[in-house]
Amino acid sequence: GTCQIGGNISTNAGGQYFFRFGSLHGTVVGMEVVLPNGEVLHFNIDSGIDAEINAKQNNNNRSGSHRKDNTGYDLKHLFIGAEGTLGVVTKVAIACPALPISRNSALLICNSYEKVLNVMKAAKEDLGEILSAIELMDWNTLQLVKTHGINTSDDSNGGSGLLGEILSAETYGKSNPLYLLVETQGSNLEHDNSKMDAFLTRLFESSTIDNGFLSQDSKQIMEMWKIRESCNPT
């Protein structure tokens, strides 16, 4: 993509994994900002001179940003989501999580918004700490994606891929269903698979969902996200 970290912060674009990692207000630790009058402000981050001094004194093993700082006003939050109206972000310290070892995605089909809420409730209860994303799509939007072939692999298969399957009448059996993309990320594959299986079993047995597709590999996960991202192309 063409986005920059400073632009992400200025628009508070935290991405689709809010459920797992929270918003940028929680992950941005420090920030350097240039105001319209040219003044440079530092919030829990070293200036260029301070960083150079710290590097020499600590053999590059320490920065000037601290995850826990309870002193005074936390003014950096004013610039997160301000879209550049208060200043331009020129340097940032971010708390970066480790890449997940295990990853699962499921595409679920519901026939009402009430059942969508029930899926979300069950996901929070059953998946807990490994729940990373929940994305909602409607039937009309997916029909447009299929018709115009936006960023999906279905065109090369004559519409016979995952998108074609979830839109078929045999799959959902209802008019204008709703689709939920649920993803988990964790550190133990066996444990995470067990939680996802229990979650899906609960939804099927309670008739909360009409149908569902569980990814079998990373390729299918990418295909699910390709469908979701095609709903609002940029």
**Model pLDDT for residues 172-187, shown as the tens digit of each residue:** 556 689 999 999 999 9
pLDDT score, position 158: 46
- Please indicate whether residue 233 or residue 102 has the higher confidence score (pLDDT): 102
pLDDT score, position 152: 54
The arithmetic mean of pLDDT across residues 52-62, rounded, is 49
pLDDT score, position 5: 87
Instruction: Please choose, from the candidates 202, 204, 200, 208, the residue with its C-alpha nearest in 3D space to the C-alpha of residue 182.
Output: 200
**How far apart (Å, rounded) are the C-alpha atoms in residues 128 and 106?**
16
Instruction: Please choose, from the candidates 127, 115, 226, 126, the residue with its C-alpha nearest in 3D space to the C-alpha of residue 180.
Output: 115
Instruction: Identify whether the C-beta of residue 153 lies closer than 8 Å to the C-beta of residue 226.
Output: yes
pLDDT score, position 163: 86
Helices (H), 86-152: 113-126, 139-148
159: left (phi over 0), alpha (psi -120 to 50) or beta: left
Instruction: Tally helices (H) and strands (E) across the chain.
Output: 10, 7
Instruction: Identify whether the C-beta of residue 139 lies closer than 8 Å to the C-beta of residue 177.
Output: yes
Q: Which of 52-61, 69-78, 105-114, 153-162 has the lowest mean pLDDT?
A: 52-61
**How far apart (Å, rounded) are the C-alpha atoms in residues 98 and 118?**
30
| H or E stretch at 28 | strand 28-34
Q: Which of 22-31, 55-64, 208-217 has the lowest mean pLDDT?
A: 55-64
| CA-CA-CA-CA torsion sign (141, 23, 222, 3) | positive
Longest dimension (CA), the chain: 68
Q: Is 158 exposed, middle or buried (0-12, 13-18, 19+ CB in 10 A)?
A: exposed
Instruction: Please choose, from the candidates 106, 116, 135, the residue with its C-alpha nearest in 3D space to the C-alpha of residue 19.
Output: 135
pLDDT score, position 60: 47
Predicted confidence band of residue 32 (pLDDT cuts 50, 70, 90): very high
The average confidence (pLDDT) of the chain is 84
DSSP 8-state secondary structure symbol assigned to residue 130: G
Instruction: Please choose, from the candidates 215, 102, 42, 177, the residue with its C-alpha nearest in 3D space to the C-alpha of residue 226.
Output: 215
Is the model's pTM score more than 0.95? no
